[in-house]
Amino acid sequence: MTVGLGRSQRAGIRQVADRAGVSVSSVSRVLTSHPDVSARMRKRVLEAVEQLGYEPDWLAQSMRRGATLTVGFVVGDISNPLFAQIALGAEVSLQREGYSMLLANSQNQPVLDARHIRLFQQRRVDGLLLSLASENHTETLEALAGLETPIVLIDRDLPPAVAASAVLSDHQSGMRAAAASLIELGHRRIGMITGSIDLRPSREREAALRAVCAEHPEVGAVVRPGSFTAAHGAAATAELLDGADPPTALVAGGNQILIGVLRELRARGLSVPSDISLVSCDEVPLSELYDPPIATIVRDPFRIGQRAAELLLGRLRGDQPHHAVLPSMFAPGRSCGPPR
C-alpha cells in the first residue's frame, strides 16, 4: 500500500523509472505488457510502481495513443425510465470493456443534440451513442456528416450519408398485435397519440396501425402526433374525446404520453376499460400494477442499450456499420375490453 508515503504528489513514470533504476521506456513497456521484457525487469518495475502507488496519467496516455476509451451518449432526457434503462444497459456493457460513458441530455432540443455531438467530438470520444431529438435537424446532420467517429443510432433513421450503426425496435409487430386485439374486441374507431413524426418510433407505430386498419375497412384510425410528453398526451386525449365520432380505444404512443392520457381520463372521470380501452407503448414502473393492468407494447430497453454498446464496440474493433433489430411484443392487459 502507498498510504503513509506522504503527499508525494502524484508520481509520474519518471519517478518510477528512477526508483527502479531503469529507463522510462522500460517502465512503459512493462505497463503496456510489451512482449520483450525480462522477468527481472518486470519485477523491479512493478515493485517501484507498487511502492509509489503510481497510476498512469490517463490524459497523457490518451493523447499518445489517440484513443480516450470514452463514449458519448446523447439522449433527450435521462429521467425517462426508458432511456435510463437503455443508458444502464449501455454503460454496464461499455464498462466491461474498459470504456467510460459521457452523458449529455439534449432536453429534446435538436439544437442541443448538435451542440453535444460537436462537444463530444472535440473531447475526442471514441464513439457516439445517439438518441436524437430530431432526425431532420440540419445542424445535427451537418455535425454528423463526415464524422469518422463511429456512431450508433438508437431507434432513429438517418440519411445513408451518415454511415452509422443502429439499434432499431421492431415497433410494427407489437403494434399490429395490439391493433388486431382491439379490433377483435369490437373496436371500430381507434385513436392513437404519438410523439414527434420526426422520430422513427412515431412513424413506425402509426404505419403499423394504418396497415392493420387497411385490412379492416370497417375500422377507422385517428392519429394525433405531437411530442413525447404528458402534456401532449393529455391535450390530444381531450381533443379526440371531444371530437366528432370519438374513438372507443386509445393507443398512447409512449410512456410519457400514457401519463397524460391517464390524467385526462381521470379528470373526466372515465373508467378503463368500461368507458374506453387503453393500450400503451413502452412501460412506466407501475403500469404492470395499475388497476386495471395496462395492456402494453413492450420491449427490453436494457437489452437495447447492451446491443447498442455491442455494435459500437464492434465498430471500434473495425467491424462495418450494422443495423440490429430488436423485437417488441404486445402484452395484453385488462385495460382493453369491448367498446361500450
Residues found near a copy of itself in the complex (CB under 8 A): 3, 7, 55-60, 62-63, 68, 70, 73, 77-81, 84-85, 87-88, 91-92, 95, 100-105, 107, 119, 121-124, 142, 145-146, 255, 259, 262-263, 266, 284-287, 289-291, 302
Cα dihedral 21→25→26→29 (10° resolution) = 150
Residue among 2, 18, 24, 172 that touches DNA (CB under 7 A): 24
- Is 63 an interacting residue with respect to DNA (CB under 7 A)? yes
How would DSSP label each residue in 130-154? E--S-S--HHHHHHHTT--S-EEEE
Give, in order, the Cα–Cα distances in Å from 2 to each of 10, 31, 50, 72, 127.
Answer: 11, 18, 7, 34, 35
Which CB sits closer to DNA, 25 or 274? 25
Which CB sits closer to a copy of itself, 41 or 84? 84
147 is in the binding site of which of a copy of itself, DNA, none (Cβ under 5 to 8 A by kind)? none
Residue among 2, 18, 28, 121 that touches DNA (CB under 7 A): 28
- Is 64 an interacting residue with respect to DNA (CB under 7 A)? yes
H-type helices in the chain, by residue range? 13-20, 24-31, 39-52, 58-65, 81-96, 110-122, 138-144, 171-185, 200-215, 230-242, 255-267, 301-316
How would DSSP label each residue in 200-257? HHHHHHHHHHHHHHHH-TT-EEEEE---SSHHHHHHHHHHHHHSSS--SEEEE-SHHH
- Is 60 an interacting residue with respect to DNA (CB under 7 A)? yes
Site for DNA in 71-90 (CB under 7 A): none
- Is 180 an interacting residue with respect to DNA (CB under 7 A)? no
- Is 23 an interacting residue with respect to DNA (CB under 7 A)? yes
12 is in the binding site of which of DNA, a copy of itself, none (Cβ under 5 to 8 A by kind)? DNA
- Residue 68 grid cell: 480516450
Applying CB under 7 A, which part among 10-18, 104-112, 265-273, 291-299 lies near DNA?
10-18
Triad 147, 152, 156: Cα angle to 5°: 105
Residues that bind DNA (CB under 7 A): 10, 12-14, 22-26, 28-29, 31-32, 35-38, 40-41, 54, 56-57, 60-61, 63-65
